[in-house]
Amino acid sequence: MKAFAPLLKKIARLRILVVGDVMLDHYIWGDATRISPEAPVPVVDIARDSWTAGGAANVALNIASLGAKCAVAGYIGQDEAGAKLTAILHGKKITTLATPGDGPTIVKTRVLVQHQQLCRLDREAPPTAYAFPAAQADALLAKEIAACDAVIMSDYAKGILSDALVARVTKLARAADKLVALDPKPKRRLAFHGLDLITPNKRESLQLAEIELAPHTPFPAAEVCARLHELYGTKHLVITLGEDGMLLSSNGKVLTTIPTAAREVFDVSGAGDTSLAGLVLALAAKATLETAALFANAAAGVVVGKLGTATVTPKELLDHVNHR
């Protein structure tokens, strides 16, 4: 674990580009002590509101929080939510590359009562409103890809990433000899091949591998890893297993499983974004896959101990590791 301090110094010299579905996370904090006379629902007395970057923008926020430079490309609407999201990102010195589109900024509003999520309200348009034509990728992204150390495509199935755009970004990254990673969402199946890293969770890995399991069947790790390598030709595969940690695979072979690093879990919102950011930063800093996974796991272990979509600083990460 002592390797994390020099690793963080290397990370501070990196620049990462994130391409994907950005959104604004809105939290309404309050208390509920009575039931509405109009319907059998709680009445929430609002104490405060807070906002942070969500989706691909939260990946960018985590990258910046860990000390690297970052740019993020995604749809940001010409509305109040878009202005708020832009201000949050610029406040962390993250460059924003606004992609074309024709919809509102995506907003997820969570109502929390006594630190428990009561409900979530989503504001968004159909995926077609956020589509980013691959033909425009060169003009918007080529210069940034050439200047960065790695590219992350963060898919939340909202419409930014298409087969054509993924292919174009991959080609640009390959031409510039940059590490390229994808966090996929199989419900909007994307065509991709030959990436350096993909980071599905357990359920997503089964969907991508086209494997159906009967209830209570043990996870077929070797079969899933071999199948995903056969289908997608990805160099590294990290499957997040929730409370069971991370499964690591290279070139279709299972390497090891890293146990979870969390001491206390208050909120898993955004933990996958933190994990993705940590993995790519460490790999771009030339760490091994196992060291990158340990680093990412430790970062996610800090974040799940916080309420709401959160990030981790180098000091918090080192303190967490030293006191585990």
> What is the predicted pLDDT for the residue at 262?
55
CATH number attached to the domain at 4-24+54-105+126-322: 3.40.1190.20
Any idea what DSSP says for residue 281? H
User: What is the sign, positive or negative, of the torsion defined by CA atoms of 18, 23, 24, 26?
Assistant: negative
Q: What is the pTM of this model?
A: 0.92
Active site residues: 273
Looking at this protein, which amino acid is placed at residue 150? A
Reading phi first (left if > 0) and then psi (alpha if -120 to 50, else beta), residue 286 is in left
Q: Tokens 């993250």 label which residue?
A: 94
Distance CA 260, CA 254 (A): 18
d(CA 143, CA 162): 20
pLDDT score of 248: 97
Nearest to 68 by CA among 182, 191, 150, 169: 150
Q: In the numeric block, which tokens belong to residue 53? A: 């970057």
Instruction: Answer for the pair 238, 152: CB distance below 8 angstroms, yes or no.
Output: no
Rounded to the nearest angstrom, the gap between the alpha carbon of residue 244 and the centroid of all alpha carbons in its chain is 19
Q: What is the model's pLDDT at position 3? A: 72
Which residues fall within 8 angstroms of residue 181, CB to CB, at 6 or more apart?
A: 150, 151, 152, 153, 195, 196, 197, 198, 199, 276, 279, 280, 283
Residue 234, CB-side half-sphere exposure with 13 Å CA sphere: 30
Q: Which residues of 212-232 are buried (b: 16+ CB within 10 A; e: fewer)?
A: eeeeeeebebeebbbbbbeeb
Kindly report the number of other CB atoms within 10 A of residue 296's CB atom. Answer: 27
Structure-token pair, residue 68: 């690297």
Of the candidates 107, 61, 55, the one whose C-alpha atom is nearest the C-alpha of residue 83 is 107
Residue 76 in contact with residue 31, Cβ under 8 Å? no
The answer to whether residues 150 and 180 touch, using CB atoms and an 8 Å cutoff, is yes
Q: What residues does each domain of the chain span? A: 4-24+54-105+126-322
pLDDT tens track, the chain, 324 positions: 557 999 999 999 999 999 999 999 999 999 999 999 999 999 999 999 999 999 999 999 999 999 999 999 999 999 999 999 999 999 999 999 999 999 999 999 999 998 889 999 999 999 999 999 999 999 999 999 999 999 999 999 999 999 999 999 999 999 999 999 999 988 778 999 999 999 999 999 999 999 998 888 999 999 999 999 999 999 999 998 877 889 999 999 999 998 876 555 555 556 788 999 999 999 999 999 999 999 998 888 888 777 666 788 888 888 878 876
Angle at the Cα of 127 from the Cα atoms of 124 and 129, rounded to 5 degrees: 75
The pLDDT value recorded for residue 131 is 94
